Structure 1
Amino acid sequence: MKTHEMQQDTVQELTKSKVLPLFYHEGIEVCKGLLTACYNGGVKAVEFTNRGKNALENFALLRTFALEHFPDMIIGVGTIKNRAEAECFWKAGAAFIVSPALDEETGVFCLEKELLWIPGCMTPSEINKAVQLGCSLIKLFPANVLGAGFSKAMKDIFPDTKFIVTGGIDAKLIDIEKWVNNNVIAVGLGSSLIKNDWIADKRFDEITRTLREICIQ
């Protein structure tokens, strides 16, 4: 698939499901279980977070697993803080890159490779800089601090820019709808969706059930 087509597919999938699951685990079998649970829940785009010593290795293994079992699954990588990290995961096949902040070198690299880059921003100045760098999709972070009114205001200022939000959002339909109704295309969900006790007990079906309840189709 061509790079620009992958970008379009990612945005379309996020816009469709309204949910972007975020997860990382040291154990690859748990990662496979989580990915399967997300897919069975109707979500075909996930963010594997770069937050552990096995992140790069597990991402590569997870991508191979997905290509075999869920070829239409889109797997990106989050918590990318610099160009070097972006390059490593790009080489490993990341479909998109999500950053917690606006790092210009990371952005330049991703844009050179035509790789969808979703930087984290929390001020109009940061959003404006991201737009100047060529970003069409921006993460508002942390969502629970900024509030839904902020996303609505930013959409009015940057009408051609799409937004997602992450940070402190409950995995409940009412919360998803609140953000979607304020011009956000998707909500990133981590621990509120992928709970530690569910992981410990391998209750992946709980994740699938929750996604089926909250995804807006």
Structure 2
Amino acid sequence: MAKFSRIEVALKMAETGMVPVFYHAEIEVCRQVMEACYKAGVRVFEFTNRGDFAHEIFAQLVKHARASFPEMMLGAGSVVDAPTAGLYIQSGADFIVSPVLNPDVAVVCNRRKIMWAPGCATLSEISKAEELGAEVVKIFPAQQVGGPDYVAAIKGPCPWSSIMPTGGVEPKEENLRAWFAAGVHCVGMGSQLISKDLIASQNYAKLEELTRTALETIRKVRAK
């Protein structure tokens, strides 16, 4: 079962401002990436359901995190249906992230009081997700949907919406400033932060450095 409550996860997302998003078929690579992120200050990490036996890797990762990174909130992303959500919840997921809005996933997560962040692209979808109990809504693909301007437009009539853009978010000050000025709850960041080159070269020290800088940049842009 989850180690952290849905409220704890939502608050930590807001506190740190960033959720790294990552998948790899090798558990050791996942461990190294998570360790680098944790050392840099990350406390909410999304492992994506992108390959065969991904849930088995995730289960190992949860055990490792609980033993070595006690403050890490580890969730599963790219979850599109209820059975898959249940599988990851049973494996210890602290939260579930979806690229789509599927009410069946909401039912499973709500029954176990697991935080669920569904993927939405319209204000009607966002409203429906909140009606179904989503505390944080994922905008995906964020840049293609409309970027920071789109988030700012949503926050006009719906200032209560907590939005996490994923897709197109970059660890650069100008980009992060635009997103947080628009009013995002936090940002999801995948290959723009954890690049294929860093993984191929196994340069986890560089990943830690880039992640720490990104978190510091988020704190900086929020302060202004």
Class of the TM-score when normalised by the shorter of the 2 chains: over 0.9
Percent of matched pairs sharing the same residue: 37
Distance 1:103 1:203 in 2: 37
Distance 1:112 1:156 in 2: 32
Confirm or deny: 8 A CA contact 2:2 2:94 kept in the other structure: no
**Aligned residue number for residue 121 of structure 1:** 120
Superposition deviation, residue 171 in structure 1: 1.9
Superposition deviation, residue 15 in structure 1: 1.3
Structure 1 stretch displaced more, 18-27 or 166-175: 166-175
Distance 1:48 1:200 in 2: 18
Aligned residue for 1:157, secondary structure, equals: coil
Structure 1: where are the runs of 5+ without partners?
none
Distance 1:214 1:59 in 2: 25
The question of 1:93 aligning with 2:92 is answered: yes
TM-score (norm 2): 0.92
**Aligned residue number for residue 31 of structure 2:** 32
Structure 1 segments, 4+ long, off by >6 Å, are none
The question of 1:72 aligning with 2:78 is answered: no
Structure 1 stretch displaced more, 205-214 or 42-51: 205-214
**Match of 1:101, as an amino acid?**
V
Task: Tell me the alpha carbon deviations over residues 126-177 of structure 1, each in whole angstroms, 9 at most, x when there is no partner.
Answer: 1111121121210111111121111112122222221110012222132122
Structure 2: where are the runs of 5+ without partners?
220-224
**Match of 2:192, as an amino acid?**
S
Aligned residue for 2:88, secondary structure, equals: helix
The question of 1:173 aligning with 2:159 is answered: no
* Count of aligned positions: 216
**Aligned residue number for residue 183 of structure 1:** 183
TM-score (norm 1): 0.95
Distance 1:67 1:136 in 2: 24
Distance 2:151 2:51 in 1: 30
**Aligned residue number for residue 160 of structure 2:** 160
**Aligned residue number for residue 208 of structure 1:** 208
Superposition deviation, residue 112 in structure 1: 1.7
The question of 1:20 aligning with 2:24 is answered: no
**Match of 2:147, as an amino acid?**
G
Distance 2:213 2:8 in 1: 23
**Match of 1:190, as an amino acid?**
G
**Aligned residue number for residue 132 of structure 1:** 131
Task: Tell me the alpha carbon deviations over residues 34-64 of structure 1, each in whole angstroms, 9 at most, x when there is no partner.
Answer: 0001001110110000001131011000111
**Match of 1:198, as an amino acid?**
L
Confirm or deny: 8 A CA contact 1:136 1:160 kept in the other structure: no
**Match of 1:17, as an amino acid?**
T
Distance 2:124 2:15 in 1: 29
